């Protein structure tokens, strides 16, 4: 292509027309289908386009235009199907000096894997041309776009059964073992490896097993234990939070010493409050699954709850992000029967912070977090047959509610609940959610029915003007109606009338439904001219 340049550096007509066509194809506002891609490639084959990228032509915008055009081509099924015949070009692209070209080459690997019907052949190409080690280099050394494209490509490799052994070799191939690569990498590169591990871990149980068996979770412990770089430590904790959000986390993460490490961080008040806050949330996420309680011993959970209790005591009455995070974590733990029972009956009685904050109107953010946490503890997110806890935990819950009410100006639980429904929309929504869980208890159902104002609010389809608010009100109305229908209270005439009102509101639905109104004739005097 050097001959394609004039002496003064201006493009020849052939190159100029190619660039114009490539620009038009890349910027076409509509969908480029297989037919349009084939038509373009019949005119300008891939070898020509790759050849232009390999030239040293000093033409403004040349590389960006050709790369953008190729990316549109490879996004079509036809274009992607051709890539298997151009593996040497992909291999060369992954080693190019240009980040733009390297990014395209990473995406090309993803396009192959996403469109192939023969994953074995695709993996053979990746192995035969040493694509995976080059992707690792792009992940670690590329700019943000290249690194992200490489991460996606490696993730796509892991999603085909034959690809798992490339990323997690049984032995040898030391140069591509992620743990060995991380040991020799910069802090930025190590964080990128952690991001890859977190992404891989969430793909499937088999990949999560491979991550665990390769001892890659230990890399999070190493990075979080790093006392010299708080930014790197915080980045590692953010990625760990992403990882523990995976459904497979409780099966594997709790088999490591990560929970102990998080507990130690929460308990150490010399550690920055931001790190302690993230440790609390990660711990809460870890214990938000019922499976967690079959993996971990109760002493470890008790130690964690004591640490969170100490954190909330330290924060005191502050309305801070850290306090809200701690309350959110308690809500995550309380989402399961086991977690809720432990919060209510544990010697640390850490749940008292939730009750104290839920009805304290002086700290809005803190109150909102506590109300949602209390709703979770009461079982609003659990299946209907799992909402109630064991007798001891239920008694603790009842005592907490009545004690909180007695120490407030409202005096009764019904007064507290009504006051929530009379506040601003966000708090009112949290109030609906809390009541939806609480009315599964007969004592609370009686409290709710003792306040006509509560029933009036939850049956009023016009009181909310947002979708979330309407649905929360309706869910609350439905929960009360359902609880009444299975209780003995409906035999009382006043309660039976309330039940009828609730059932009618449930039939109308959540979205501003109006009662049927008969058409009324309108009589007016005739206009005279």
Of the candidates 32, 23, 117, 31, the one whose C-alpha atom is nearest the C-alpha of residue 79 is 32
| Cα–Cα distance, 18 to 44 (Å, whole number) | 8
Residue 5, classed as helix, strand or coil, is strand
- In DSSP terms, 11 is beta-bridged to 5
Q: Estimate to the nearest angstrom the gap between the alpha carbon of 247 and the chain centroid.
A: 11
- Tell me the torsion sign for CA atoms 472, 478, 479, 480: positive
| Cα–Cα distance, 296 to 430 (Å, whole number) | 31
The full set of domain ranges for the chain reads 409-510
Of the candidates 517, 484, 486, 519, the one whose C-alpha atom is nearest the C-alpha of residue 500 is 484
Q: Quote the longest CA-to-CA distance of the chain.
A: 102
Token couple for 52: 């232009």
Instruction: With residue 223 as reference, give the H or E element that holds it.
Output: helix 218-224
How crowded is residue 11: how many other Cβ atoms within 10 Å of its Cβ? 18
pLDDT score, position 517: 46
| Cα–Cα distance, 509 to 459 (Å, whole number) | 10
**Cβ distance 330 to 354 under 8 Å?**
yes
Q: What is the pTM of this model?
A: 0.85
Q: How far is CA 282 from CA 106, 156, 304, 333, 391, in A?
A: 32, 27, 11, 11, 29
**Burial (CB count within 10 angstroms: exposed 0-12, middle 13-18, buried 19+), residue 183:** exposed
Cβ neighbors of 471 (< 8 A, separation 6 or more) are 510
Quickly list DSSP for 148-212.
Answer: HHHHHHHHHHHTSGGGHHHHS-SSS-GGG-HHHHHHTS-HHHHHHHHHHHHHHHTT-HHHHHHHH
**Cβ distance 335 to 288 under 8 Å?**
yes
| Cα–Cα distance, 441 to 223 (Å, whole number) | 46
Token pair 């190729």 in the structure block, residue: 70
Cβ neighbors of 224 (< 8 A, separation 6 or more) are 233, 236, 237, 240, 261, 265
pLDDT score, position 110: 96
pLDDT score, position 528: 53
What are the pLDDT digits (tens) for 223-239? Answer: 999 878 889 999 999 99
Low-confidence ranges of the chain (pLDDT < 70): 1-13, 56-57, 171-176, 317, 319, 490, 512-529
Token couple for 303: 């130690």
DSSP state of 11: B
Residue 44, classed as helix, strand or coil, is coil
Q: How far is CA 136 from CA 127, 153, 186, 214, in A?
A: 13, 10, 14, 17
pLDDT score, position 374: 96
| Cα–Cα distance, 322 to 280 (Å, whole number) | 9
How crowded is residue 282: how many other Cβ atoms within 10 Å of its Cβ? 29
Q: How far is CA 263 from CA 253, 326, 362, 387, in A?
A: 14, 13, 30, 28
**Burial (CB count within 10 angstroms: exposed 0-12, middle 13-18, buried 19+), residue 102:** buried
Instruction: With residue 145 as reference, give the H or E element that holds it.
Output: helix 144-158
| Cα–Cα distance, 517 to 500 (Å, whole number) | 19
Token couple for 23: 């620009």
- In DSSP terms, 5 is beta-bridged to 11
| Cα–Cα distance, 100 to 215 (Å, whole number) | 34
| Cα–Cα distance, 372 to 131 (Å, whole number) | 48
Cβ neighbors of 91 (< 8 A, separation 6 or more) are 129, 130, 131, 134
Of the candidates 415, 442, 334, the one whose C-alpha atom is nearest the C-alpha of residue 380 is 334
**Cβ distance 135 to 102 under 8 Å?**
no
Q: Angle at which helices 187-201 and 131-141 pack, to 10 degrees?
A: 120
């Amino acid at each position: 292509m050097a001959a394609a340049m004039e002496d003064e550096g201006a493009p020849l007509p052939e190159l100029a027309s190619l660039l114009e066509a490539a620009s038009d194809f890349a910027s076409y506002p509509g969908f480029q289908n297989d037919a349009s891609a084939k038509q373009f490639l019949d005119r300008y084959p891939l070898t020509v386009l790759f050849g232009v990228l390999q030239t040293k032509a000093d033409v403004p915008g040349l590389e960006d235009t050709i790369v953008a055009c190729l990316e549109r081509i490879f996004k079509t099924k036809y274009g992607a199907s051709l890539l298997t015949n151009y593996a040497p070009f992909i291999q060369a692209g992954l080693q190019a000096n240009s980040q733009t070209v390297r990014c395209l080459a990473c995406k090309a690997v993803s396009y192959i894997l996403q469109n192939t019907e023969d994953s074995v052949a695709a993996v053979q190409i990746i192995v035969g041309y040493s694509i995976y080690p080059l992707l690792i280099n792009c992940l670690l050394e590329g700019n943000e776009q290249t690194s992200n494209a490489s991460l996606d490509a490696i993730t796509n490799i892991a999603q085909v059964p034959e690809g798992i052994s490339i990323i997690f070799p049984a032995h040898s191939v030391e140069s591509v073992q992620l743990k060995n690569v991380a040991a020799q990498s910069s802090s930025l590169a190590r964080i990128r490896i952690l991001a890859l591990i977190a992404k891989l871990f969430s793909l499937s149980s088999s990949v999560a097993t491979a991550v665990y068996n390769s001892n890659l979770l230990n890399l999070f412990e190493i990075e979080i234990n790093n006392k010299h770089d708080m930014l790197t430590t915080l980045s590692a904790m953010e990625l760990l939070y992403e990882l523990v959000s995976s459904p497979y986390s409780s099966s594997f993460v709790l088999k490591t010493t990560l929970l102990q490490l998080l507990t130690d961080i929460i308990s150490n008040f010399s550690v920055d409050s931001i790190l302690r806050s993230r440790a609390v949330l990660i711990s809460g996420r870890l214990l938000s699954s019922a499976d967690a309680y079959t993996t971990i011993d109760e002493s470890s959970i008790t130690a964690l709850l004591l640490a969170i209790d100490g954190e909330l005591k330290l924060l005191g009455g502050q309305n801070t992000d850290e306090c809200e995070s701690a309350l959110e974590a308690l809500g995550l733990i309380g989402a399961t029967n086991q977690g809720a029972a432990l919060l209510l009956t544990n010697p640390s009685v850490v749940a008292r912070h939730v009750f104290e904050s839920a009805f304290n109107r002086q700290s809005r953010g803190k109150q909102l977090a506590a109300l949602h946490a209390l709703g979770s503890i009461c079982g609003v997110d659990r299946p209907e047959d799992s909402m109630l806890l064991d007798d001891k935990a239920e008694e603790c819950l009842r005592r907490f509610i009545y004690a909180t009410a007695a120490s407030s100006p409202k005096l009764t639980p019904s007064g507290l609940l009504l006051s929530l429904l009379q506040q601003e929309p966000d708090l009112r929504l949290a109030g609906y959610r809390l009541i939806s869980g609480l009315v599964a208890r007969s004592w609370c159902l009686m409290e709710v029915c003792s306040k006509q104002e509560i029933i009036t609010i939850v049956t009023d389809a016009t009181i909310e003007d947002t979708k979330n608010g309407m649905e929360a009100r309706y869910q609350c109305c439905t929960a009360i109606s359902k609880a009444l229908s299975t209780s003995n209270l409906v035999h009382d005439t006043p309660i039976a009338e309330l039940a009828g009102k609730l059932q009618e509101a449930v039939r109308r639905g959540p979205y501003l439904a109006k009662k049927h109104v008969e058409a009324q004739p309108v009589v007016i005097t005739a206009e005279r001219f």
